[in-house]
Chains A and B, each alone.
Chain A
Amino acid sequence: DAGVIQSPRHEVTEMGQEVTLRCKPISGHNSLFWYRQTMMRGLELLIYFNNNVPIDDSGMPEDRFSAKMPNASFSTLKIQPSEPRDSAVYFCASSLAWTGTGIATNEKLFFGSGTQLSVL
């Protein structure tokens, strides 16, 4: 399997522009997570999905951030409008932890390589 695939690897944009980050989870995985990593705050969970349904978006910093998962093989994280403080590495991760009725506690989390976002 190719693993979790994220695109683009690097994104440089100007303040106020719309940014869309993309993620393809590992085939068959039913949980998908978006994380943000900065030196100051470490790894923060932004939102996660079980079976394509958003479960917890309490980590989404502002209404400028939105995430979708239209099907089991694709997810997007959008920032509109972007601001310099959004600069960070954004990671997508997936797992088989969701059983449909509960959590499989022995399933590992697999990360993509991340998108390095710079907002000027």
Chain B
Amino acid sequence: KQEVTQIPAALSVPEGENLVLNCSFTDSAIYNLQWFRQDPGKGLTSLLLIQSSQREQTSGRLNASLDKSSGRSTLYIAASQPGDSATYLCAVMEYGNKLVFGAGTILRVKS
């Protein structure tokens, strides 16, 4: 059974810092990996999607990498801002169009 783990569970950084969130998964037979953002009381918003044949994707200050063979992904946030404060979740798509989620990393960026 696929298990997705995210480290750290929570992170607090001063504004302007670059930071890395980590995600690991146990079964490398995935179609893609997605990073989501969730604000309190809201639904999830997809940030980046990396297909299994790709190594990374970038969107603005966000960069996500994927090492499928080792079962790892990282989300890099450059020059963090208070507006980046949210919970970040990674999820892997496995056979059958199913997304399995990690527990998330709660990020707080202090101004």
User: A residues within 8 Å of B by Cβ?
Assistant: 4, 31, 33, 42-43, 45, 48, 50, 55-56, 91, 93, 95, 97-98, 103, 105-114
B52 to chain A, nearest CB (A): 7
- What are 10 A-B contacts defined by CB distance under 8 Å? A43-B89, A45-B100, A105-B31, A105-B32, A108-B34, A108-B46, A108-B49, A109-B91, A114-B42, A114-B43
Tell me the total A-B contact number using a CB cutoff of 8 A. 57
Distance of A80 Cα from B61 Cα, bound (Å): 46
Q: Does B88 contact A (CB under 8 A)?
A: no
Q: Please encode chain B, from 62 to 96, with 1 for each CB lying within 8 Å of some chain A CB and 0 for all others.
A: 00000000000000000000000000010101001
Question: Chain A CB within 10 Å — which of B34, B52, B97 has the most?
Answer: B97
Distance, CA A95 to CA B49, complexed state (A): 13
| Nearest CB on B from A2, distance (A) | 13
Other than the given A43-B91, A109-B34, 11 more pairs (CB < 8 A) read: A31-B97, A91-B43, A95-B97, A103-B97, A105-B31, A105-B93, A107-B49, A109-B91, A109-B99, A110-B46, A111-B44
